[in-house]
C-alpha cells in the first residue's frame, strides 16, 4: 500500500472539549511516527492472521451500496454464516518500499508479493508499518478535525481525511492485476500525549473485476518496547472484505516476538525492490534421491488448536529410504524439518479440520539438506479416517493447486489435534 499525501488541518464546526490545539497534536504525532520510521526497518515481528469467511445466509442485496449498508443493521449477524476459519503465521519486516514476508522462522524473506506466498483466501498488507507511515511520510493528506469523543475511557481527537484515486497508492489485486482505489480514513489521537490510538481506512467501491465491493481496515495502536526504545505498533487489526455476492471475509492480525536483525534499510514508497541483503540466505544443497522412492515420515511435533500455517514441524524417518536394488540411501530415524501449509476449520453440519504438511529439509550426517517429496496418493492422505478410501459414494476432493505438493489430512470436528507419531507417506521427487 503506497500513498501520496499533503499536510493541511481544517477545523470542523465541533468545539474542542480539551485545551490542546488540533494542529499541534497532529504535528507532534507526525514527529513520533517519523522517528519510529527511522528505526522500524531493522526489526521484524511474527504476524499471526486468523481468517474467517462468511457466506450469505439470506438473499443478498444486488448492489454494493446495499451490501455495505446492511452491515449496520442490528440483525446483520443473522444474515451471514461462518463457513471456514484458518490461521497463518508469518515473519514480517519493513523493506525499502513496503512490507516483506516469509513463513515464520524461514531462512529468508520472499522476493514476491504476499498473494504469491499465500495464493488462497483474502489477504491484506500494510498493518505492520506501511499504513501508518503512509499517512505522514511524504506529502500528508488534508486533515479535517472532527471534534472530540470518548475512546477507551479517555477524551480523544478525531481527524478524517480523504485520498482520491488519482493520488492514491492503495492497491487491490484481482485476476493477476493490481487496481488502485481511493479511500476515506479516520484517526483517533490522545490530545495530551499525541499518541495514535486507532486508524480506520475504508476504500471506495472497488471495480467488479476484484469481486469485492469494499475493504475496511481498523488498526488499534500501542507502544511496544524493544531494547529500551518505544515503537508504535498495531496491537490489534481487523480487515473486512465485502464480496459482491454477499460473502465476507474478516482477518484479525496480531504481532508478537519482535526482534532486531542486523543491517540497514530506508523508508521510501517507490517501485517494488528486492528484499534487503540482510534478509536473504544462501540456499541449502539438495538431497539427491532417485524419483518415486517411498518415504514414511512419523510426525515428531504434536499439533493442536494453536497451530497455524507457517509453523515449523519436525518428523523422523519411519523406514529407511532404499533404492531400487534395496540399498539404504538414508537410515531410519533421520530427522526431517517441515512446515504446516494449511490449518483450516470447515464449519457446518459436518464440521471438519484440514491440515496440509510439507517436508523441506533433512539431516544427513552433520549437514542439513533440502528435500523434495510428494504425497504418496496411492496410499491415500485421507487414511486418518479408517476405511474411507474403500467406501462407495465417498466424495473425492481434489486439492487446490497450491496444495498439490502437500500432504492433506482431513479430520472430523472443529478442533485441530494431530498426535506425535502420526505417519505420513511420501515419494521422492527428483
CATH code of the domain in which 321 resides? 2.40.128
**Mean pLDDT computed over 364-386:** 74
C-alpha cell at 321: 529410504
Mean pLDDT computed over every residue of the chain = 83
> 279, 309, 336: which is the final residue of a domain?
279
Do 396 and 381 meet the contact criterion of CB atoms below 8 Å apart?
Answer: no
pLDDT(132) > 80: yes
Look at residues 317, 276, 362 and name the one whose alpha carbon lies nearest to residue 93.
276
Assign 225 a pLDDT band (cuts: 50, 70, 90).
Answer: confident
The whole-number pLDDT of residue 40 equals 75
Quick one: cell of 88? 497463518
The total number of structural domains that make up the chain: 2
Beta bridge partners of 11: 145
In a domain, 287, yes or no: no
Residue 194 pLDDT: 94
- Do 349 and 235 fall within a single domain? no
Q: Answer yes or no: is 254 within a domain.
A: yes
Q: Are residues 61 and 89 in the same domain?
A: yes
Range of the domain at 399: 294-428
User: Domain check: are 202 and 258 in the same one?
Assistant: yes
Q: Is residue 172 part of a domain?
A: yes
Asked if residue 68 has pLDDT above 60, the reply is yes
The reply to whether 171 and 217 lie within a common domain is yes
Of 244, 279, 314, the residue that ends a domain is 279
- Asked, for residue 288, whether it belongs to a domain, the answer is no
* 289 lies in some domain: no
Residues 315 and 241 in one domain: no
* CATH number where 51 lies: 2.50.20
Residues linked to residue 27 through DSSP beta bridges, in sequence order: none
Read off the DSSP letter of residue 365: T
Q: Determine the pLDDT at residue 228.
A: 72
DSSP codes of every residue in 192-225:
TTTEEEEEEEEEPPPPGGGTEEEEEEEEEEEEEE
Average pLDDT over residues 92-112: 83
Are 275 and 378 contained in the same domain?
no
Residues 320-352 have pLDDT tens digits of 999 999 999 999 999 999 999 999 999 999 999
Please, which pLDDT band fits residue 273 given cuts at 50, 70 and 90?
very low
149 in the same domain as 12:
yes
The domain boundary residue, chosen from 228, 247, 279? 279
Q: Could you please report the per-residue DSSP string of 140-182?
A: --EEEEEEEEEETTEEEEEEEEEE-GGG--EEEEETTEEEEE-
pTM of this prediction exceeds 0.75: yes
241, 385: one domain: no
Residues 385, 396: Cα–Cα separation, whole Å: 14
User: Is 333 in the same domain as 395?
Assistant: yes
Residue 70 lies in a domain: yes
Phi, psi at residue 46, to the nearest 5°?
-90, 125
For cell 457466506, the residue is 55
Q: Is the residue at 67 inside a domain?
A: yes
281-326 pLDDT tens trace? 567 788 889 999 999 999 999 999 999 999 999 999 999 999 999 9
Residues 26, 115, single domain; the answer is yes
Residues 254 and 323 in one domain: no
* pLDDT classification of 170: cutoffs 50, 70, 90: confident
Per-residue burial over 129-155, b = 16 or more CB atoms within 10 Å of its CB, e = otherwise: bbbbbbbbbbebbebbbbebeebeeee
Residue 44 lies in a domain: yes
User: CA 409 from chain center: how many Å?
Assistant: 22
Q: Do 143 and 89 have their domain in common?
A: yes
Q: How confident is the model at residue 399 (pLDDT cuts 50, 70, 90)?
A: low
Amino acid at each position: 500500500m503506497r500513498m501520496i499525501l499533503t499536510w493541511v488541518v481544517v477545523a470542523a464546526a465541533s468545539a474542542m472539549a480539551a485545551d490542546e490545539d488540533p494542529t499541534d497534536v497532529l504535528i507532534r504525532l507526525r514527529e513520533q511516527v517519523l522517528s519510529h520510521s527511522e528505526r522500524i526497518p531493522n526489526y521484524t515481528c511474527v504476524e499471526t492472521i486468523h481468517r474467517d469467511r462468511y457466506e450469505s445466509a439470506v438473499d443478498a442485496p444486488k448492489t454494493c451500496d446495499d451490501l455495505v449498508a446492511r452491515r449496520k443493521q442490528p440483525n446483520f449477524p443473522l444474515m451471514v454464516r461462518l463457513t471456514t476459519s484458518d490461521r497463518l503465521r508469518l515473519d514480517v519486516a519493513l523493506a525499502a518500499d513496503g512490507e516483506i514476508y516469509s513463513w515464520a522462522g524461514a531462512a529468508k524473506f520472499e522476493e514476491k508479493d504476499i498473494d504469491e506466498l499465500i495464493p488462497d483466501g483474502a489477504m491484506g498488507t500494510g498493518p505492520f508499518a506501511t499504513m501508518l507511515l503512509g499517512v505522514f511520510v511524504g506529502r500528508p493528506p488534508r486533515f479535517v478535525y472532527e471534534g472530540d469523543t470518548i475512546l477507551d475511557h479517555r477524551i480523544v481527537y478525531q481527524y478524517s481525511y480523504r485520498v482520491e484515486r488519482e493520488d492514491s497508492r492503495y492497491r487491490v489485486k484481482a485476476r493477476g492485476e493490481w487496481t488502485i482505489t481511493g479511500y476515506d480514513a479516520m484517526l483517533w489521537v490522545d490530545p495530551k500525549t499525541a499518541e495514535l490510538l486507532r486508524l480506520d481506512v475504508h476504500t471506495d467501491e472497488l471495480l467488479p473485476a476484484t469481486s469485492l465491493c469494499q475493504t475496511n481496515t481498523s488498526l488499534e495502536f500501542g507502544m511496544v518496547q524493544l531494547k529500551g526504545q518505544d515503537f508504535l505498533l498495531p496491537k490489534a487489526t481487523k480487515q473486512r472484505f465485502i464480496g459482491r455476492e454477499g460473502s465476507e471475509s474478516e482477518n484479525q492480525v496480531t504481532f508478537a516476538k519482535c526482534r532486531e536483525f542486523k543491517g540497514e534499510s530506508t523508508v521510501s514508497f517507490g517501485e517494488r525492490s528486492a528484499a534487503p541483503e540482510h534478509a536473504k540466505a544462501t540456499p541449502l544443497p539438495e538431497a539427491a534421491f532417485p524419483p518415486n522412492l517411498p518415504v514414511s515420515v512419523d510426525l515428531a511435533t504434536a499439533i493442536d488448536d494453536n497451530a497455524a500455517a507457517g509453523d515449523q514441524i519436525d518428523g523422523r524417518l519411519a523406514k529407511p529410504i532404499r533404492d531400487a536394488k534395496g540399498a539404504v540411501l538414508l537410515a531410519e530415524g533421520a530427522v526431517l524439518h517441515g512446515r504446516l501449509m494449511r490449518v483450516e476449520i470447515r464449519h457446518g453440519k459436518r464440521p471438519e479440520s484440514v491440515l496440509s504438511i510439507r517436508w523441506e529439509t533433512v539431516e544427513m550426517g552433520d549437514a542439513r539438506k533440502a528435500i523434495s517429496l510428494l504425497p504418496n496418493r496411492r496410499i491415500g492422505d485421507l487414511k486418518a479416517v479408517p476405511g474411507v478410501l474403500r467406501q462407495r459414494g465417498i466424495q473425492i476432493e481434489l486439492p487446490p493447486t497450491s496444495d498439490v505438493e502437500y500432504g492433506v489430512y482431513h479430520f472430523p470436528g472443529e478442533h485441530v489435534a494431530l498426535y506425535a507419531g502420526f505417519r505420513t507417506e511420501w515419494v521422492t521427487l527428483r
